[in-house]
Every structure is written in C-alpha cells, then in structure tokens.
A = this chain, B = another copy of it.
Amino acid sequence: MQRHFDDELAALKDKILRMGALVEEQIQEALRALVNRDEALARQVILNDRRVNTLDVEVDEACLELLALYQPAARDLRFITTAMKISTELERMSDLAENICERAIELNEEPQLKPYIDIPRMAEKALKMVWNSLDAFVKWDSKLARKVLEDDDEVDDLTGQMFRELLSFMIENPQTISRAIRLSFISKYIERIADHATNIGELVVYMVEGKIIRHTNPPPVE
C-alpha cells in the first residue's frame, strides 16, 4: 500500500512538472508570436491551451483519488492539497498566454509601434519565476520559493516603468493610443503570470514550513 502510494505521489509530481513545462512553452510561444508578428503561431498557442486544461483536470482527479484512497496525513496531505492549488495557478497562466496572443493578433492589424525589448525581458523574468516556483515545489525548497517572492518586485517595477513609457507615447501622439493600450495589457498579463508564480511560491513556503506567508505582503499595485 505504502509503495503504491509513493508511486502515485511520484506520478502526481511528474504531472505537475509536465503541466509546468507545457505552460512555460505556451508563454514562450506567445511572446514569439508577438515579437515576430506571427498570427498563425498565435492561433496555435490559443488552440494548445486545451492541452493545459486537460492536464489541470487530470491533476485534480489524481489528487481527489489520492485523498480518497490513501487518506494521507501531515506532509503528504499538504503536498497533495498544494498540488491541487498549483495546478489552478498554472492553468490561469496558460489563459494569460492565450490573452497575449489575442492582443498580438489585434496588434498585427497596424504597423508596429516600437521595437519590443522590455516585454520579452519581463517575460523572461516571469518565466524564470514560474520555473523556480515549481522546482521549489518538487524539491520542498522553501528558500528557493522565497526567492520567487523577491523577484516579483522586479517584474512589478518593469510593468510600472513600461506603463509610464506607453502613456507618454499616447499623450504625444493619440494615433498610437489603441496600440499602446494593447501593449500595456500585454505587460499586465506578464505581471499577472509573475503573480501566479508568486502564489505558487507562497504555497510552497506554507507546505514546507507550515507557515502561511501569503497576505503578509501588500498586494501588487496594478
């Protein structure tokens, strides 16, 4: 029984990592679609969101089954309930990758406003947070999880900076308004991806240390 349970837990861990890898790919491809103005790729990312959704459902069912069949306690119980919550966070990130693609498709209808330099940089930081948060989860590494929380400030700063830049574009030349707004939405989506990674980091700290640290920081200014 214990052995079987351990196998099932390992399988759950794998599923979360697979889901994480897929979400990471979705975000990367969304950015590529934006930067290369590649509408076909954007549409592909939108379609692929279904694969993430399928994994989310699978994780949920696997967790419920583990809880029902093995009635785990303490450490294992916390691992499983944390996995359930992480899968929701990952699924929302994939929705945001989809939103990036929707805006990218709209942006293609007009000439490019400016070279995209800050947005890919922000996305790279956010992606690193996503990866670290999942790594922290599977390794029970609360130190790494706390690093994710720290990194979130950087992404928030970049969003603020970008917003001010876009605002000055709009004020100088009202013809840029709709494009600048779409770009500011995209930077918000990336900020929200980083927020979801932060949520995972907080869940991991709680799982490992049994301490609830979410809600100790003020929420991000949006």
Q: Which residues of A contact B (CB under 8 A)?
A: 49-50, 53-54, 56-57, 60, 63-64, 67-68, 71, 73-74, 77-78, 81, 84-85, 88, 91, 95, 98-99, 102, 167, 170-171, 174, 177-178, 181, 184-185, 189, 212, 214-215, 219, 221-222
Supposing A67-B81, A88-B85, A102-B221 touch, asked if A167 and B178 sit within 8 A by C-beta, the answer is yes
Please tell me which one of the listed residues B60, B171, B189 contacts residue A174 in the complex, with CB atoms under 8 A apart: B171
Check B167 against A95 for contact (C-beta < 8 Å): no
- Closest CB of chain B to A101's CB: distance in Å? 11
The chain B residue with its CB closest to the CB of A88 is: B85
Report chain B residues within 8 Å CB of A50: 215
**Can you pick out 25 interface pairs between chain A and chain B where the beta carbons lie within 8 Å of each other?**
A53-B215, A57-B215, A63-B81, A64-B78, A68-B73, A68-B74, A71-B71, A81-B84, A85-B85, A85-B88, A91-B215, A98-B219, A99-B219, A99-B221, A99-B222, A102-B222, A167-B177, A167-B178, A170-B174, A170-B177, A171-B177, A174-B174, A177-B177, A181-B181, A189-B222
Report chain B residues within 8 Å CB of A74: 68
Taking the full assembly, how many copies of this chain does it contain?
Answer: 2
Check A215 against B68 for contact (C-beta < 8 Å): no
- Closest CB of chain B to A107's CB: distance in Å? 14
Report chain B residues within 8 Å CB of A68: 73-74, 77
Supposing A57-B215, A215-B50 touch, asked if A77 and B81 sit within 8 A by C-beta, the answer is no
- Closest CB of chain B to A44's CB: distance in Å? 15
Inter-chain CA distance A73–B67, complex, in Å, is 8
The chain B residue with its CB closest to the CB of A49 is: B219
